[in-house]
Amino acid sequence: MAHFTLAPGTTSNAVVHRTVEEIWYVVGGAGEMWRKLGDHEETVVLAPGTCVTIPVGAHFQFRATGAEALSAVAITMPPWPGDDEALAVTGRW
* Distance separating alpha carbons of residues 31 and 61, to the nearest angstrom: 11
The DSSP call for residue 11 is B
Q: 0.85 exceeded by the pTM?
A: yes
Residues paired with 74 in a beta bridge: 2, 24
Classify residue 88: in a domain, yes or no: no
Classify residue 47: in a domain, yes or no: yes
Rounded to an integer, the average pLDDT of 52-61 is 98
What's the structural domain count of the chain? 1
| 3-state SS class at 87 | strand
* Distance separating alpha carbons of residues 20 and 83, to the nearest angstrom: 13
Please, what is the average pLDDT of the chain?
A: 97
- pLDDT at position 36 is 98
Residue 40: give the domain boundaries: 2-15+22-80
* Distance separating alpha carbons of residues 76 and 44, to the nearest angstrom: 19
